Amino acid sequence: MSPTRRALIQALSDGAFHSGEALGRELGVSRAAVWKQIRKLQQEGWAIDCVPGQGYRCRQLSANLNAEAILAALPVSAQPWLAGIRILPEVDSTNSELLRQATAGLPAGTVCVAEWQTAGRGRRGRAWVSPQSGNIYASVLWRYAGGASVLEGLSLVVGLVLLETLADMGIPDLALKWPNDVLARQRKLAGILLEMGGDPSGDCQVVIGIGLNCQLPDALDAAIGQPWIDLSRLLPAAPDRNHVLGVLLGRLLPVLSDYDRQGFSAYRDRWLQHDACRGQPVQIWQGDALLTGVARGVDAQGALCVETAAGVHVFHGGEVSLRVVP
């Protein structure tokens, strides 16, 4: 991103009107250059008002990410689990950043949050569209001694914690799509990507990446390629991301600290209450192989159960894709 573009977005992020002249002065460019950048942002789908006599205003941006504001929303009881918060204006991927740093001994409970991801990653090798338009891109590092097997079902539990956090904030119509998509009105609101490092049978670390759509420009429909929704379309006003993050971390960190003792079975009943697919006809793709059946919830490990004519098949995550048959 060019420094001018970044400075312009930064200047407009307060939601107030700024004249072209003032922006030009602030950015050290001409008014025409400001106008050119504004046109480009509008073409990308940013909701920028141009009002004669008042100037430019962006209605999409919410307050910048801020560690103090996140901490203010984090309950005192969860503070011992938080090792530190890194806030980056831009990064390739917050997951990649923590995976790189994990080998240098970063402690469990370190959180990395970014305003913009230039190479955000999703499950199954897909990209996670991550514009600088006021969304949440956050990763948390945790360490476990018992190897990868203790992590089974953890990604489902992260989805559950996120859904319960959002539901308590008054967001309606939420559901979980196995393994860990959070849906609202049957559209994708958030995705979770867990990545492991270290010794798969001993001391290992896991990076838990959460992408939560808060305000996405309409123009990204094609890039996202699946039905999506964001918090600004579900709430009367754009959410305060710092508050959402603080409250979410307050619930997530204690769960992570205890997960190797609890396992998925402690959360299974709660997860099933929000299962978007249970009882529905579904298709399961594993590479090019297709299996059809009826979704029957998840077992005590968080594996998906699908009933077919040949009996119940159990899927343990990984490269499996689940679709509800319309």
Active-site annotation holds for 261: no
Element (H, E) at 166: helix 154-168
Active-site annotation holds for 40: no
Catalytic residue among 121, 188, 268, 278: 188
The label of the residue with tokens 């079902």 reads: 153
| Closest to 141 measured CA to CA, from 87, 180, 199, 100 | 100
Catalytic residue among 86, 143, 251, 323: 323
* Cα within 13 Å of Cα(34), Cβ side: 24
- What's the min distance (Å) between Cβ of 23 and ligand BTN? 30
Residue closer to ligand BTN (CB basis): 12 or 183:
183
Residue closer to ligand BTN (CB basis): 116 or 128:
128
Taking the C-alpha atoms of residue 24 and residue 62, their distance in angstroms, rounded to an integer, is 22
Residue closer to ligand BTN (CB basis): 36 or 126:
126
* Cα within 13 Å of Cα(36), Cβ side: 8
Residue closer to ligand BTN (CB basis): 23 or 162:
162
* Cα within 13 Å of Cα(52), Cβ side: 0
- What's the min distance (Å) between Cβ of 193 and ligand BTN? 4
- What's the min distance (Å) between Cβ of 122 and ligand BTN? 3
- What's the min distance (Å) between Cβ of 130 and ligand BTN? 6
Q: In what order do the strands lie in the sheet with 84-88?
A: 84-88, 110-114, 136-144, 204-212, 187-198, 181-184, 174-177
In terms of Cβ atoms closer than 10 Å to its own Cβ (0-12, 13-18, 19+), residue 206 is buried
Q: Are 84 and 98 in contact (CB under 8 A)?
A: no
- What's the min distance (Å) between Cβ of 92 and ligand BTN? 8
Residue closer to ligand BTN (CB basis): 23 or 190:
190
Binding site for ligand BTN (CB under 6 A): 93-95, 117, 120-123, 126, 128, 137-139, 181, 191-193, 209-211
Residue closer to ligand BTN (CB basis): 19 or 101:
101
- What's the min distance (Å) between Cβ of 95 and ligand BTN? 4
DSSP E strands: which ranges in 154-251? 174-177, 181-184, 187-198, 204-212
Taking the C-alpha atoms of residue 70 and residue 241, their distance in angstroms, rounded to an integer, is 8
For residue 90, how many other CB atoms are within 10 A of its CB? 13
| Closest to 139 measured CA to CA, from 110, 165, 161, 164 | 110
Residue closer to ligand BTN (CB basis): 191 or 293:
191
Catalytic residue among 123, 177, 268, 278: 123
- What's the min distance (Å) between Cβ of 234 and ligand BTN? 18
Count helices and strands in the chain by DSSP H and E runs? 9, 14
Active-site annotation holds for 233: no
The residues carrying an active-site annotation are: 123, 188, 323
